Structure 1
Amino acid sequence: MCTLYSCKSDNTANTAFDDKIILIENNPQQYLARIDTIRPNSVNDEKEATDFLLYSLAHNYINRNYYPSKELLLTSIQTFQRRNLPQQQLEALFLLAKIYRKEQDLSSEVHTIENAVRIAKSEEDSEWLFYLYSYLGDMYIRQYNTLKFIKYQTLANQCLKDIDFQDISLLAQINVAKSFLYVGKYKESYDTLQTIESKVKKDNVYYNDIKRLQGMALFKMDLLDSCIDNLEEALNEEELPEHKFTCHSILTYCYYLKKDLENAERHKKLAIENNTDTGIGFTETEFYTICAEFAGENGNREEQIACLQNANRLYQTAIENIGGQSLNEAIQAYTNIQEKKAFHKRLSLYRYGVTGLLLALCVGLAIHIRRRKKQVYEVLALQKQINTLENLRNVKDEIKNFILRDFEIAKKIAMLRATQQTQSAKFLKDLDKYNIVKGNDLLATHWEQFYKHIDISFGGFHSKLTKEYPALNEKEFQLCCMLVSGFKTEEIAAIWMNSVFSVHKYKTNVRKKINAPEGADIIAFLKEKLSLQ
Structure 2
Amino acid sequence: MLDKITIAENIIKENPDSALVLLNTINTEHLASPPIEAKYNLLRTMAEDKCYVVHIDAKRINKSVDYYKKHGSISEKLKSLFYQGRVYKDMDSTEIALTSLLKAYSLSDITNDYIDKGLICFHIADLYAENFELKYANKYIKEAVHYFTVANDPVNLGLALNLTARLKMYEGEYLQAISFYSDAINIFAAAKRDDLVITNIAAIASLYLQNLDDPNKAYSTMFDMYKTYEIRDIPPPHYPLLSHIYSYLGDKQKAISMISDYIEKNAPDDESRATAYFMKSGYEHELGEYAEAYNNLLKYIDLTDSINLNETNLLLAEVEKKYEQKELENTLLNLKKQNKYRMMIICLVLTIIALSSIVIFYQAKRRIIKSRKEKIELETIIERLSEDNKEIAELKNKLDVLLNENNENEIRLKKVMCDKILYIQKIADITSIYDNNAELFLEKIKATIINAGRDTYFGELHEVVNDRFYGIVNYLKDKHPTLNEDEINLCCLICFGFDNNQISILFGHKNYNSIFTKRHKVRKKLGINTISLENYIRELIVNLKKNSTRGRG
The answer, yes or no, to whether TM exceeds 0.5 is no
**Which interval holds the TM-score relative to the shorter structure?**
0.3 to 0.5
Structure number with higher helix proportion:
2
**Higher RCO (CA-CA < 8 Å; seq separation 6+):** 1
Normalised to the residue count of structure 2, the TM-score between the two structures is 0.42
Normalised to the residue count of structure 1, the TM-score between the two structures is 0.43
Larger radius of gyration: 1
